[in-house]
Amino acid sequence: MTVKDELIRLFERNRGTFLSGADIADKLGCTRGAVWKAVKSLQTEGYNISAVTNRGYCLDGADVLSAAGIEKYLTPECGAKLTVYKETDSTNTRLRELAANGAAEGTTVVAGMQTNGRGRLGRSFFSPSDTGLYLSILLRPEMTAADAVRITTAAAVAVAEAAEEVSGRQADIKWVNDVYMDSRKICGILTEASFSLESGGLDYAVCGIGINVYEPEGGFPEEIRDIAGAVLTARVEDARNRMAGLVISKFLRYYRELSEDTFLEGYRSRLIWRGEEINLIRGSEITPAKLIDVDERCRLLVERHDGTRDCISSGEISIRRRE
């Protein structure tokens, strides 16, 4: 571990407290010159570190993603192994590379910006710098492809709970993979899998989660301006690290309890448009129906106009509220 890595961990444990250069050097086993150099490097990365003569250095109210910052909010039993990027093309892409090389379950890639973020159905995912949180978690489940939707739905509940805890506002879930606040989308989830030809089950799954923590400067792009929202309306100290730690911890707990369906009630209670008229959209085909609920396999229960009921798997189907 570099001096800079050790220093940010020390600052995170003592946020808001001044530490002298001599004390830091003693704790890290390095020179004061190395401390000064590491401080300067962290400042260029966006950390708000004050330097005051005769007092030392202090990490002020920054909201910069870091492994050390996230680790503070992970539960002891979480077991996640973090890699944090200021910027990457896609956290799912980075994690799939690690998975192919044998990375362990719980390996997690986090970024503050994506240059090639991806959503469902081949769509791009808007991932600007310093306002969002983008993370992917590696799983090696024993399940069939048909049950993989449960990973996505468990992740949606974890995000909803974390957003509520950080903001104090209610979150809703749009089947199957979107989280909303105040009728605006604050999160999208994309689960991708690699299949074993021998067993027919999953070799591994990558659960990718993109969250708008803040609205970007100048607002969202025009094409998503009417639907996109954010968890917070103003900057909050350490909010993205906290959000990441909460989401990872909550999701991995739900994942380990998938067979017990502990996430399902939280999903159902937040399901938007329950009892309302919707359109089922598959390509250019639009079918009207009433949204009833989700079943224990997280399939959407709908009632068609002739009174028949059906269970819809995610696949290539999306839903829209009928005006």
Quickly tell me which residue has 């990973």 as its tokens: 151
Give φ, ψ of 136 to 5 degrees.
Answer: -135, 135
Phi, psi of 155 (to 5 degrees): -65, -40
Q: Which residues are known binding-site members?
A: 90-92, 114, 118-120, 185
Number of C-alpha atoms within 13 angstroms, CB side, residue 305? Answer: 6
Burial class (CB in 10 A: 0-12, 13-18, 19+), 133: buried
Type of residue found at 40: K
What's the one-letter identity of residue 178?
D
Residues 6+ positions from 262 with CB-CB distance below 8 Å: 254
Beta strands 277-282 and 318-321 are antiparallel
Residue 13 and residue 206: Cα distance in Å, rounded? 31
Strand partners, 108: 82, 137
User: Which residues are annotated binding-site positions for biotin?
Assistant: 90-92, 114, 118-120, 185
Contact of 148 with 232, CB cutoff 8 Å: no
